[in-house]
């Protein structure tokens, strides 16, 4: 790179010797001036320096501006002027709207449910009963009278069954709400399977030995009489006989006169026409019941009278 030094001439101050016309101590003559050179900055370097200067000036001004915008600054600017408000994200706004909508809907539904559960408009006023044979509907309605005036949504099947416990004829009950004030109760009664003689009365019992009623005339009830040997409901013989009678279809059971058992493996039934049914033990009860029903439906043959139906081996039943 070419040098930019420019020679300059500067007069030198005269020494006392020179002023007096004496020779110099250094032995040389006084030149009377000094030639020196000065380097000028290159154009590129000068421009870069100027640009650096401008940048430093801007940085200083920017820092001053920040200092002026800070809270507590003595400058006249406001901090609110330096806050940029960004719009709320669309997804966040949608989530907030959905949350509020669900909350309001839930609160509204809760109010409706609360009003329905406790509203006197839905209080029970009418109780209807069906499924009764041993009992009368009036007896069941009287037992359920405690439900009257209670809001219909608060009535449960457990409440109904608790109130019906004193009625031993009821095995279970289900219910249907009939708004605004009706209640329909379906009664599942126990099924009497036999009669037990107690003194002068005949007691109807179900398969569990529960006493369901009494009659003075056994012929008025189409049920077999369990003889005195198995008359107690807590014996193994009674349980075996009752299980057999409970398996029989109602129309077949109605044709039975008595039921007895020498042992739990030797259950025997008597038909009203005097014929005998050899049943055996309590195994394969359903299959034996179907076999007996089929034998009883066979047309009678006068040439081959039948006195015994043996279903003790249900896959090979026979008559004799």
Q: What is the pLDDT of residue 295?
A: 95
Element (H, E) at 108: helix 90-118
Closest-CA residue to 214 (of 231, 230, 192, 188) = 192
Q: What is the pLDDT of residue 157?
A: 95
| Rounded distance between C-alpha atoms, residue 188 and residue 173, angstroms | 6
Neighbouring-strand partners of residue 37: 7
Asked whether 291 and 314 are in contact (CB, 8 A), the reply is yes
For each of the chain's 320 residues, which pLDDT tens digit applies? Answer: 454 555 554 554 555 444 444 544 444 444 444 444 444 444 444 444 444 445 444 444 444 444 444 444 444 445 556 776 667 677 877 887 888 888 878 876 766 665 555 566 788 999 999 999 999 999 999 999 999 999 888 899 999 999 999 999 999 999 999 988 999 999 999 999 999 988 888 999 999 999 998 999 988 899 999 875 555 677 888 999 999 999 999 999 999 999 999 899 999 999 999 999 999 998 899 999 999 999 999 998 888 899 999 999 999 999 99
Q: What is the pLDDT of residue 86?
A: 64
Sort 20 into a burial class: Cβ within 10 Å, 0-12 / 13-18 / 19+: exposed
Q: What does the block give as tokens for 64?
A: 């001053």
Delineate the domains of the chain, giving CATH numbers in brackets: 122-189 (3.10.20.310), 194-319 (3.40.50)
| Rounded distance between C-alpha atoms, residue 171 and residue 197, angstroms | 23
Using only C-alpha atoms, the chain has a radius of gyration, in whole angstroms, of 59
DSSP state of 283: T
Q: What is the pLDDT of residue 115?
A: 56
| Total Cβ atoms within 10 A of residue 240 | 20
Q: What is the pLDDT of residue 6?
A: 52
> pTM for the complete prediction?
0.61
Q: What is the pLDDT of residue 99?
A: 85
């Amino acid at each position: 790179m070419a040098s930019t030094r420019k020679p300059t001439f500067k007069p030198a101050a005269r020494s006392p010797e020179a002023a007096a016309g004496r020779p110099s101590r250094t032995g040389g003559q006084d030149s009377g001036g000094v030639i020196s050179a000065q380097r000028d900055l290159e154009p590129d370097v000068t421009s870069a320096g100027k640009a650096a200067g401008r940048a430093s000036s801007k940085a200083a001004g920017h820092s001053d501006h920040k200092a002026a915008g800070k809270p507590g600054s003595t400058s006249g600017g406001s901090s609110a002027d330096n806050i940029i408000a960004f719009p709320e994200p669309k997804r966040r706004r949608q989530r907030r709207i959905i949350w509020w909508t669900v909350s309001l809907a839930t609160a509204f539904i809760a109010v409706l449910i609360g009003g329905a559960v406790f509203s006197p408009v839905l209080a029970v006023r009418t109780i209807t009963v069906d499924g009764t044979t041993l009992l009368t509907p009036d007896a069941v309605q009287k037992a359920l009278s405690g439900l009257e005036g209670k809001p219909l949504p608060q009535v449960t099947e457990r409440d109904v069954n608790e109130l019906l416990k004193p009625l031993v004829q009821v095995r279970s009950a289900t219910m249907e709400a009939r708004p605004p004030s009706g209640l329909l109760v379906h009664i599942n009664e126990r099924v009497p399977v036999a009669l037990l003689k107690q003194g002068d009365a005949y007691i109807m019992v179900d398969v569990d030995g529960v006493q369901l009623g009494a009659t003075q005339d056994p012929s008025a009830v189409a049920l077999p009489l369990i003889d005195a040997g198995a008359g107690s409901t807590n014996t193994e013989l009674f349980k075996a006989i009752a299980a057999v009678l409970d398996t029989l279809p109602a129309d077949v059971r109605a044709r039975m006169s008595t039921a007895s058992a020498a042992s739990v493996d030797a259950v025997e039934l008597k038909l009203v026409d005097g014929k005998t049914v050899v049943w055996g033990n309590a195994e394969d009860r359903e299959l034996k019941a179907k076999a007996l029903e089929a034998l009883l439906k066979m047309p009678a043959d006068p040439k081959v009278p039948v006195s015994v139906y043996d279903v003790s081996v249900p896959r090979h039943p026979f008559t004799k």
